[in-house]
Amino acid sequence: MKSTLFVLSLVGATVTAAPAWRVGPGDVRVVCPMTIGGSFDARTTALGGAVTARGSGPAALDGSLAVDLRTLDTGINLRNEHLRDIYLEVAKGPGFDTATLSDIDLKGVDPDRPDGKGSFTGALRLHGVTKTVTGTIDFARLEPTST
């Protein structure tokens, strides 16, 4: 089985400082490998969720981030339809239209001052199945929010 690289770029996202982070729209890029050479990207800004620092480590997070799969865009309308309707089956039923990332562990990111690039591992839930994934994270712009 081929793995998919997930790149989470929080350009323009709102992220509050640790221990609680609220994430709202950001740039999500899914790299989709093709059977015969090459790959293509599917992108969306439909990202939301909240995470808090977990006691087991400074870069371990509780909570989850969710992506609305119905909004993924590859830049080609027919490929968008195939991705959403045939491969992701977003209309099949509850839970098929969302991918959720939880149990997130950050590497190379200071949770007290999240800025710059790093990587993550986490549990991705898609179509009722949960698998461990890895990817890169880029905190491009942070905006503090008042509480």
Model confidence pLDDT, tens digit, residues 126-142: 988 999 998 887 765 54
User: How does DSSP classify residue 84?
Assistant: I
Extract long-range pairs of 108-114: CB within 8 Å, 24+ residues apart. 109/59, 109/137, 109/139, 111/18, 111/19, 111/53, 111/58, 111/59, 111/61, 112/17, 112/18, 112/58, 113/17, 114/15, 114/17, 114/18, 114/21, 114/139, 114/142
CATH number at residue 19: 2.40.128
pLDDT at 144 over 90: no
> What is the tally of structural domains in the chain?
1
pTM over the 0.75 mark: no
| % of the chain residues with pLDDT over 90 | 36
Q: Say if 65 falls within a structural domain.
A: yes
The answer to whether the peptide bond before residue 94 is cis (omega within 30 degrees of 0) is no
Structure tokens at 128: 């009722």
User: How does DSSP classify residue 90?
Assistant: T
* pLDDT digit string, tens, across residues 28-87: 888 888 888 889 999 999 988 888 877 655 578 888 999 999 999 999 999 999 999 999
What's the chain's Rg over C-alpha atoms?
A: 15
Q: Say if 50 falls within a structural domain.
A: yes
Q: Say if 24 falls within a structural domain.
A: yes
pLDDT confidence of residue 1: 35
Structure tokens at 51: 């995470």
Q: Say if 144 falls within a structural domain.
A: no
Query: By residue range, what is the domain housing residue 115?
Result: 5-139
